[in-house]
A and B are shown apart, each in its own frame.
Chain A
Amino acid sequence: MPADDDGLTQEALEAALKETPRGAFALAGLTVGLLMAAWLAMYLLVFLPRGSVG
């Protein structure tokens, strides 16, 4: 298979690979952050005020 059949130069490929993790971490951080915020909201605003059980 020819190396450059998608038209990308090696420099362009490396530049893209350098940028990719930043976007992935931003997306993962946002989704995990929203999940944690929703969990904490349920915990603090619903679960704890309902009081003791056991």
Chain B
Amino acid sequence: MTGVREEDVVRSELRWGLVTIAAVSVIMIAIIFAGVAMHINPPSNIERVNPQDLHLSAEFTEANLGTRVEANGQITSRIVATQFAFVPRCVVLPADTPVTMRFSSPDVIHGILVSGTNVNTMVVPGYVAQVHTVFRKTGDLLMPCHEFCGLGHSEMLATVRVVPKADFKPGPDGRVACANQ
């Protein structure tokens, strides 16, 4: 066979190899740009907590759940993800303000996402999942469990109520609840 030479085949494959390297490079550069320039990163937080006494520990006791403005001005929501509900079922957060959401689970692996935003993380028993973000739009955002956690998984959802910055009014103890907003 004289029509197709080995060199032609190798050249064709090398050209296609360059195309695939270019495609992967474009994706990698885009991901690095999002992380470095726009602070869009996968949430990463390695913080241990004992799941067996989560409801008794200092941070995730029932009275401490929900949104609180800390002494240093940091706005933090603490939520327990448990079969098959979030506690509390609704949290209030201000728009256009850096906020922190902290989650933990006493039972099995859950996951959360806040619809219409990039907030998305796993909630693994024994660890505190933490997400920093800034909500740009106001309204009630659905926050379902997105990791199958048992028979009641499909009923497991909460609401993130994003209110205008001016309407975000913490009480004297720094707490803000959905019932007051």
Contact surface of A with B, Cβ cutoff 8 Å = 10, 13-15, 17-18, 21, 25, 28-29, 32, 36, 39-40, 43, 47-48, 50-54
With A52-B133, A52-B134, A53-B41 as given contacts, are A43 and B30 in contact (CB-CB < 8 Å)? yes
B134 close to A51 (CB less than 8 A): yes
Task: Report how far A53 CA is from B76 CA in the complex, Å.
Answer: 14
Of the candidates B20, B27, B41, B116, the one whose C-beta lies within 8 Å of that of A50 is: B116
Task: Report how far A18 CA is from B2 CA in the complex, Å.
Answer: 10
Per-residue interface assignment for chain B, residues 1 to 17, with 1 indicating a CB less than 8 Å from any chain A CB and 0 otherwise = 11110001100100010
Q: How far apart are A7's CB and chain B's nearest CB, in angstroms? A: 18
Contact surface of B with A, Cβ cutoff 8 Å = 1-4, 8-9, 12, 16, 19-20, 23, 26-27, 30, 34, 38-44, 116-120, 131-134, 136
Q: How far apart are B71's CB and chain A's nearest CB, in angstroms? A: 23
Q: How far apart are B139's CB and chain A's nearest CB, in angstroms? A: 14
B133 close to A53 (CB less than 8 A): yes
A32 close to B23 (CB less than 8 A): yes
Task: Report how far A52 CA is from B41 CA in the complex, Å.
Answer: 8
Task: Report how far A51 CA is from B167 CA in the complex, Å.
Answer: 22
Q: List 15 A-B contacts (CB under 8 A).
A: A14-B2, A14-B4, A15-B3, A47-B34, A48-B38, A51-B133, A51-B134, A52-B38, A52-B39, A52-B133, A53-B41, A53-B43, A53-B117, A53-B133, A54-B132
